[in-house]
Amino acid sequence: MVKSLFAASSLLAVPVLLSLAYRGWAATIRVRLPQWRNALGEGAMLFLLSTWLLYSGVFILSRIRLELTSFYGPEWAFALRSFNVISVLLAMALKGVPRLQIVAGALLTFWCISAVEYY
């Protein structure tokens, strides 16, 4: 019960961190970075967003007790963890607080995937 509650609250924090990272990047850091580093930073945000969307969908469907999560197995958890690692690596192209916010969001998502397993 405690794991599920912490996982749900962590999943609620990830979009907040993502939106803050995007706002910070777009307002201050975007103009100071080269184009290739901006592209890698955007990729980090997209990878984290896709991981969060997939996992939160599975989390919500499992809490509603629908049997639509039968496809989620170890290979899906591995793919989501890999997306998280990719987002952290791509976030290294950013500078300052947005980098830390993306890394924190990826760590929260990684913990949720590891803590609540459905297979």
| Tens-digit pLDDT profile for residues 6-20 | 777 888 899 999 999
Neighbours of 32 (CB within 10 A): 10
Q: How many domains does the chain have?
A: 1
Provide the phi-psi class of 114: left if phi over 0, else alpha when psi is between -120 and 50, else beta.
alpha
pLDDT digit string, tens, across residues 87-113: 999 999 999 999 999 999 999 998 888
Residue 106: predicted pLDDT = 93
Rounded Cα–Cα distance for residues 60 and 53 (Å): 11
In this structure, are residues 41 and 94 in contact, taking their beta carbons and an 8 Å threshold? Answer: yes
Amino acid found at 112: C
Domain enclosing residue 23, as ranges: 2-115
- Mean pLDDT score of the chain, rounded to an integer? 86
pLDDT bracket for residue 1 (50, 70, 90): low
When pLDDT is averaged across residues 15-30 and rounded to a whole number, the result is 93
- Give which of 112, 108, 116 is closest to 88, Cα–Cα: 108
Q: Reply yes or no on whether the pLDDT at 119 is more than 50.
A: no
Report which of 45, 37, 62 is spatially closest to residue 112, judged by C-alpha positions. 62
